[in-house]
Structure formats: C-alpha cells, structure tokens
Structure 1
Amino acid sequence: MAVEHLMKELSEARVDEKFGFERLLNLRKLEILDLGSNDFDDNNILHSLGAHTSIKTLIISDNALGGYFPAHELVALRNLETLDISTNGYHGCLPMQGFEKLSALRKLETLNLEWNDFDDSILPSLSALRSLKMLNLRANNIGGLFPPQELAYLGNLERLDLSFIQFNDIQGLEVLF
C-alpha cells in the first residue's frame, strides 16, 4: 500500500529533481516507478535511478528531458521489462552509447519512444534489442524507406507502431518477415 501511495505521489506531483532518488533506495522491492508528467529537464535523474535494480517498469514520459538519450545510464536495471520515455525532447543517442546498450537488459520487452525527435540514426542500435515484443516509434522524425530494414532483426516483436512518421518510399514488407 505504501509503495502504491508513493507511485501515485510521484506520478501526479511535480517532483523536484533535487528530490534525491537515493531516498528510494530503501524500497528494495520497488517494481514500478512512474515519474511521468513532471518537469524533469535534466537527464541526471536516469543516473540516480541505476541503483534501483528491482524496477521492472520505468515511466519517465511527458517531462522536459531532451538532447541525446543516455541509454547507458539504465543498463544496471537488469530486471527492466518496460521503458517509457515518450513525449520528451530526445533526438538521438551518442555514438556507442545508444539503444544497443539496452541489449544487456535481457528482460526488456516494451519500449515506448513515441512523440520525441528521434531520427533514422537510432534504428541500427534498436536492432540489438532482440527481447522486444512492443516497440512504439510513433510521431518521431524517422524517414527513409518503409519499413525500416533494421527492424527485421527484432524476431520477438509482436506490436510495432510506426504511425505519424513521414516515410519517403515504400519497399516490400517482406524485409520484416
């Protein structure tokens, strides 16, 4: 009950980044952390969450986070199954620090990237996430050929959202099958 109350407070309140996530370290069984709809604008919050290895679902959607997505900051979350970073201002990843780093998270099944500014440059690193069952790329700046060839490597994928993307050309869907 206390954890549910804390989750409700964190997701509905405007949590100050100086909140000190180290205070949550005592919640050793915390599985769902919803930090959505806050005014976070500093990616350092991801670094401070790395010690919470019990987290299975991390939601940091609808904040003011932006720039390059620091995927490498989350590799310690070895039990992570769902990651939602939607509705932020991310536009890419630093070389060698992209989504391929998340391939260490063997349980990651759901990745929601919708309503950011990611472009085609993230596609090669996404192809390393072989455990994904759901990938949402809706409303990003991914263009080029439809469907993106790199997604063919995601053999466990059950749901793929590519809506609101301006593809330049259509190739055969057989690249995905």
Structure 2
Amino acid sequence: MDKYNEFLTIAKTLNQELKIIPVLYGSLGLSRVAKVDFSPQDIDILVPFIFLKERWPELKTTIEGLGYELTDLHEHEFRKAEFKIGIAYLEDLRLFADVDYKSLLKNVDDRAVYYTLSISDYKKVYSKSLLDGYRRNKNNNKDQRKLDFLNEFEQKGH
C-alpha cells in the first residue's frame, strides 16, 4: 500500500473516531497538490493543537489502534512496517510560516476528509524551513529544491 492510501486510512479513522479533519502536509501533501512525486519518506499530518496536549491520550490510542507504535514522543512520531507518521499541530502554520490554516483546501477522497495547503502556502513553508540550519543539513537541501520547483511551477501558471 502506498503512503497516500495509508494516509486516507488514517484520515478516515481520525474523521470518524475523533472528529478531526487532518491536514496532509510535508512532501506527501506537496506531491498530491503539485501532482509530482517528491518521494516522501514519511506521512506528515497536522491536527488541532488540543490533540497534542489535552487530548493526546485519545489521539495516541487511535493511532495505535491502526497498528502503529509510538517511537518518538517529542516528535509525535509513529511507525508501522514501512510507514512512519509525524504529527504536528495545525495552528503552527500561522506561527511558523504565516499560513492561514482556516482557509486551507478541503478534500474528500474515498470518504476521507482532509485539508491541503496551496502552492503559495507551500512556498511560505519551504521558504521558512530554509532558515532552519538543522533542517537544511538534515534534509540535504531538499527544501531548497522544493522551493525552486514551486517557484518554477508558479511561473508556468499552475
């Protein structure tokens, strides 16, 4: 099963059990929006802040119910077979990259409801990520390559 289909399974579960509409984020989200394969290493998901604080036990139990094991509490990272999920909070989009998380694009696929960022939102995110020396070194300049792609993508009128 590919990462996107796995995300749909997770999203449907979050929709049904916790009434969360998650955000498909990171390289997998960008791949879906731009229709280009960025070979994502993991599944990045954003959820409302309350689920990483007061309602963390519910979220953790729900994800574990899908066969995942918590591998990094600080990063809210889970693993199952070849899949790795990273969960962060939705509201950080505004703080981190000045992205209006209340106007994200709503998607429905195979009864899973989720949000995605726009191309311009991703430009803001990757521009901000470039300022983070840790990410720049850890990711081998992948953020710069994505930003270059996004700039070119936008210039072509997509």
Could you tell me the TM-score, scaled by structure 1's length? 0.27
Larger Cα Rg: Structure 1 or Structure 2? 1
The structure with the greater share of residues assigned to strand is 2
The structure with the greater share of residues assigned to helix is 2
Greater relative contact order (CA < 8 Å, ≥ 6 in sequence) = 2
